[in-house]
A and B are shown apart, each in its own frame.
Chain A
Amino acid sequence: KAGVTQTPRYLIKTRGQQVTLSCSPISGHRSVSWYQQTPGQGLQFLFEYFSETQRNKGNFPGRFSGRQFSNSRSEMNVSTLELGDSALYLCASSLDSNSPLHFGNGTRLTVT
């Protein structure tokens, strides 16, 4: 069974640009969550989607948005990038809301 796939693996953007990250969950998993990981803040929850609906949202500004498609694939978008957005962005899928999370290897975003 294929794991969670995140693309691209690395991204370099400049301030003010926008970026879209993609996540393909494990087949059959309907819940997809996104996390931001930085050395200083650890793992911060961004949002969770279940059957194309955003079910939970973390404390991030509106520049961070996401969506989920009917095949459960998910994208997250960050607009007007800031230097502080540099981080590892992790996607995780799960069978349902109280099942263990399965993480992808992440997208490393560097904003210059």
Chain B
Amino acid sequence: GNSVTQMEGPVTLSEEAFLTINCTYTATGYPSLFWYVQYPGEGLQLLLKATKADDKGSNKGFEATYRKETTSFHLEKGSVQVSDSAVYFCALSDGTSGTYKYIFGTGTRLKVLA
């Protein structure tokens, strides 16, 4: 079945450091890929998405490229800020079965220190 695996957290970085959060997926079809972010006390918010191979999603300085050959969708940011502290979820949406189902990774907590 479909699955999403993302790196264990927590990830602790100093402000302005480079961020990478790894995400790999298994899917039978051609899924769309997403990164969602959850701030304390809130629901998840869409951060970025990519719908086909080699697409690059980007938003608020975050980027991720849909790599079909390595089945990966790693999240990167060149210079993190304290306000980026949150939990990040990688997800896929696959419609191979006839209806679209979302599969979420377990989440990676990011803590950025001033």
- Which residues on A are within 8 Å of B, measured CB to CB? 4, 6, 33, 35, 42-43, 45, 48, 55-56, 90, 92, 97-98, 100-106
Contacts and interface: CB of A to CB of B under 8 A. Distances in A.
B32 to A, nearest CB: 7
B61 interface: no
Contact of B89 (A4, A43, A48, A92): A43
Given A97-B95, A100-B34, A45 B102 contact: yes
Interface string B75-107: 000000000000001000101000111101111
Given A4-B43, A92-B43, 7 more contacts: A6-B43, A43-B89, A43-B107, A98-B95, A100-B34, A101-B102, A103-B45
Instruction: Identify which of A48, A56, A101 gathers the most chain B CB atoms within 10 Å of its CB.
Output: A101
A56 B41 CA distance: 27
Contacts of A101: 36, 44, 46, 102
A105 B44 CA distance: 8
Contact of B43 (A42, A56, A103): A103
Interface of B: 32, 34, 36, 41-46, 49, 89, 93, 95, 99-102, 104-107
A106 B107 contact: no
A55 B43 contact: no
A98 B93 contact: yes
A104 B46 CA distance: 12
B15 to A, nearest CB: 27
Contact of A97 (B49, B99, B105, B106): B99
A49 B60 CA distance: 31
Given A42-B107, A43-B89, A105-B41, A100 B46 contact: yes
Given A55-B99, A97-B99, A42 B104 contact: yes
Contacts of B105: 42
B92 to A, nearest CB: 11
Nearest to B39: A105
